[in-house]
Amino acid sequence: MTTDPHAGHDHSGHHDDPTFYRSPRDAAAAPAEKLAYVATFARPADKPDGIAVVDVDPGSASYGSVIGFTELTYSGDELHHFGWNACSSALCPGGGHDHGDRRYLIVPGLRSSRIYVLDTKDAPAQPEIVKVLGPDELGKRANYSRPHTVHCGPGGLFVSCLGGGSEDGPGGVALLDHNTFEVTGQWEADRGDQYLAYDVWWHIMHDVAITSEWGTPSMIEDGIVPDLLLGRKYGHRLHFWDMKTRTNIQTIDLGDQHQMALELRPAHNPDKTYGFVGVVISVEDLSSSIWLWHQGDDGRWEAQKVISIPAVPADPDDLPPALKPFSAVPPLVTDLALSVDDQRLYVSCWGTGEMKAYDVSDPFHPRETGSVHIGGIVAREAHPARPDQPLAGGPQMVEVSRDSKRVYFTNSLYGAWDEQFYPDGVGAWMAKLDVADDGSISFDERFFVEGDAFRGRRTHQVRLQGGDASSDSYCYPPD
């Protein structure tokens, strides 16, 4: 499909999109989201994946229901992460930040290397596919494959990719044109010894980018490879980049026992130079951890562990084959979200079936303020709306509203990994938490979307109408 998604659209550089906010405080004061867009994928790939549209307006008669569904064109994509074409960084000074309106969803297929562009403007509850980039586009123009994370940014849309074009690696960042969504090339000018890739984010007003590491396609597509895990071959480093020269300026190794350094969550306050990264598992004790990166007085970047979440002992008879030798359930922290006001951090423990909330107003000393349990490899905790229904999967992809009062999450990680840890089936569901003033969290018992609502697909990332805590960069501090 080669139609121009921007036909008749104004690209004068004038930004009147009301969902662009100069500061985190402006974003928090904006009207609440009414729709959530949820990536759903078919496993096995017996039908196309899709974007489900969920009503999240508590005053609506269809609250907590799927009210729209856009089925994609092809099968076998395995949707994972996706993002908006534009965000509040469009308001940043310095040029190169002209993104148009927050209108299009850029949706990569992690297995297929295909990228879809969906227009939400005319029918927000039924996005229209207006462009599809074929699986050869990333390889031909950027020498990458397996697109993963999408962020609007300076000079283009940044798409992190796990694989190389014709080889397994290195992975890195491809750029898409803001207006045409065509692949324009590879972002990195000098990657140093960076080879593994996963997430990309930045301190945009400081012209510093950060990337993290998971693995190449062969390391992840059929599940965790025990020899690679125990051999400490998965990613465990953070890379810092000069955004102007696109050069890797520093690499921090968290220690090779800390396998899979995944999600990056920088401070939203553009004056601050710190952020959090989650580590899935330690091969020494099966714990998960959260690390804080920050800039030292000498300008060098540093990282330190600020949260450790231990594994939970379990009867081997209750465990899937991959975990039986360890007699324990690892937390498997696979996602985290930092509230727009930088005060709360939410951590998904997909293995133990727990969502944890932390006060991170002092980022060096997080303080746990609440938790809920749902699903879990052994626990199979029910949702309060279905108290007699054991659930598989656990808190996985998590998203926070702009005002930091609502937390949404889904339960599937990645097809092959779902089957390793939940061999009897992972199901499909989405839940919502309400956040109290003291930081405690509780289920919204009116909101539980499951099963048939997603048309036989599993659920993954959530994006909120008008932006959310994980998809925006701001140009000005709160005050």
Q: From the CB of residue 253, how many other CB atoms can be counted at a distance below 10 Å?
A: 11
**pLDDT at site 94:** 61
Residue whose tokens read 């395995």: 78
CATH top-level class of 24-464: mainly beta
State pTM to two decimals: 0.96
Q: What is the pLDDT of residue 99?
A: 63
pLDDT (0 to 100) of residue 8: 39
Tokens representing 114 are 């295909």
pLDDT for position 155: 87
Of the candidates 398, 276, 339, 275, the residue with the CA atom closest to the CA atom of residue 28: 339
pLDDT tens digits for range 172-204:
999 999 999 999 999 999 999 999 999 999 999
Q: Could you give the count of Cα atoms lying within 13 Å of 361 in the half-sphere of its Cβ?
A: 4
- Low-confidence stretches of the chain (pLDDT < 50) are 1-2, 7-14, 95
What pLDDT, on the 0 to 100 scale, is given for residue 15? 60
- Cα Rg for the chain, rounded, in angstroms? 20
User: 185: which 2 tokens?
Assistant: 């090339």
* Three-state secondary-structure class, residue 318: helix
Alpha carbon distances (Å) from 267 to 343, 359, 416, 419:
10, 14, 32, 34
H-run or E-run covering 226: helix 226-230
For residue 138, give every residue at least 6 positions away whose Cβ sits within 8 Å of its Cβ, in sequence order, or none: 113, 115, 144, 145, 147, 159, 161, 165, 174, 183
Residue 354 is given by DSSP the state E
Q: CA 430, CA 436: separation in Å to the nearest integer?
A: 20
